[in-house]
Amino acid sequence: MPTTAPAAPPAAPLMTVTGATLVLAAGPAAPRRGAAAPAARRRPAGPYRRLFATPGARAFTAGNLLARLPMGMFGVSAVLMIAGQRGSYALAGAVTATGLAATAVVAPFTARLVDRHGQARIALPATLIAVLGWLCLVWCVRTQAPAWTLFACCAATATTPNIGGLSRARWTHLLRDSPAARHTAMSFEQAVDELCYLLGPVLATTLCSLAFPEAGTLTGAALLLAGMVLFTSRRATEPPPAGRTRHRSPLRSPGLPGLLALFLALGVVFGSMEVTSLAYLTGHGLAAAAGPVLALQAAGSCAAGLLYGALRPRALAGCVSALAVLMALPWAAAATGSVPLLAVALLLAGMATAPTMVTAMALVQRATPAARLNEGMTLAVTAILTGIAAGSAAAGAAVDHLGPTPSYALPATAALLALLATTMRGSASPTRR
């Protein structure tokens, strides 16, 4: 029996009547030749791209990077310059230690003035004084001036502002309504710190070796001044000055003393690890490789800081616990006598540094009154510098009496003390996303 083909659907009418109006019917529109395909859905911008989309952020960051790079140059440059011209590493070490001690005393007062009167009004003149101090140091070294003049010149450089703190204060001001973006910004700032302390000594050593002994100090002074001029000229992103306030000292803020104890212990970790590693590598006839091996620790921290900025912030206790575990790895690696294993251990140990620093600094910002934010962050830096000086001295004595390998117990112990300080102040975490 023949089948009947299904009826074709009725053709769309060419015209239709709507109300009293004759309207041409719209049939299926054929795609025009050469028409573009629908645009693919764009991937959401990453946290760092969103961060630097903030108006003015790129400009002040560029100036801050220029000004911050010399922070990793000055110490090495001064040692090489003084030792090269005067032939005494003991004198060079004493002069640079004097500069650190003076900075620990002066920096909080400079930061207080910045909070009160604004970054541009205080930071730029303070930088000019510091640059003059470095230039006078170069002149005194070159002219064989008495040794006491070297100490006086280096002490004058203590007016250098806490450049990283100035940048963090700007991010805090710009991103005050976005805790997630602030976390990314603080992670970026910590990564920049590590990068500057990674590249600064390399640049200083290269300049002093290939050019002349004073080249590192002169270049650092020029970069510091140029960067600070560029940074402070970006007035649109500068936090407003707080003026005279009745806020009590940040030292009396609840929770801050415990955080400063943590930063002090972290400074001991950094100072003792550097001295012990230098002694260990020199003892193995690898003094020339000390720089690259130690750079692995900073590289690990820099990478971890950038990664941490793209993740949710964690509780401080968890970060410090990871630090305490990973800081024991170099001690174990040194006991095997394997330098490559030590290099890997330093890389892994460095990866715990940035998350700990970022999380702890976020808590400092929460504990400090907004009107004295620069002062609070500078106190944290001062605690770190004090710990570095104490850790370096303790590690030097331990190496002389015990040898390099047992001395790796010092940074491991300091990391445990940092965990104890964290436990005593209570586990806390910055605002989550």
The helices-and-strands tally (H runs, E runs) of the chain is 18, 2
Q: Could you tell me the two tokens for 411?
A: 């940074």
CA-CA-CA-CA torsion sign (274, 65, 151, 124) = negative
**Ramachandran class of 55: left when φ > 0, alpha when ψ lies in -120 to 50, beta otherwise:** beta
Both tokens of residue 165? 């703190």
> Which residues lie below 8 Å from residue 403, measured CB to CB, with a gap of 6+?
283
Q: Which candidate, 205, 209, 307, 325, places its Cα nearest to that of 269? A: 325
Alpha-carbon gap, residue 201 to 185, rounded angstroms: 25
**How far apart, in whole angstroms, are the C-alpha atoms of residue 272 and residue 334?**
14
Q: Report the SS3 class of residue 24.
A: strand
Let me know: does 306 contact 187? Beta carbons within 8 Å: yes
Q: Whose structure tokens read 């305490």?
A: 324
Fold match between 57-244 and 251-433? yes
Tens digit of pLDDT at every position of the chain (433 positions): 444 444 444 444 444 444 434 444 444 445 455 444 444 456 666 888 888 888 888 888 999 999 999 988 888 788 888 888 887 777 887 888 888 888 888 988 898 899 889 888 999 999 999 999 999 999 999 998 998 999 999 999 999 998 888 998 899 888 888 888 888 888 898 888 888 877 887 788 788 888 888 899 999 999 999 999 999 998 888 888 876 666 666 667 777 888 999 999 999 998 888 888 878 887 888 766 777 787 888 888 888 888 888 888 788 889 999 999 999 999 999 999 888 999 999 999 989 898 999 899 888 888 887 778 888 888 888 898 888 888 888 888 888 888 889 999 999 999 999 999 898 876 444 443 3
Q: What is the DSSP letter of 333?
A: H
- Tokens standing for residue 166: 């100035």
Fold of the domain built from segment(s) 57-244: Growth Hormone; Chain: A; (1.20.1250)
Residue (of 224, 279, 271) closest to 73 by Cα position = 224
- What three-state secondary structure class fits 62? helix
- What would the two tokens of residue 174 be? 């710009």
CA–CA distance, 316 with 384 (Å, rounded to integer): 17
pLDDT in the model for residue 329: 94
- Residue ranges of domains in the chain: 57-244, 251-433
For residue 72, what pLDDT is reported? 81
pTM over 0.85: no
Contact of 312 with 182, CB cutoff 8 Å: no
According to the model, what pLDDT value does residue 220 have? 94
Q: Which amino acid is at 70?
A: P
Q: What is the CATH number of domain 251-433?
A: 1.20.1250.20
Residues in the chain: 433
SS3 for 56? Answer: coil
Terminal-to-terminal C-alpha distance of the chain: 73
Both tokens assigned to 227:
């960067």
Is the separation of the CB atoms in 416 and 324 below 8 Å? Answer: yes
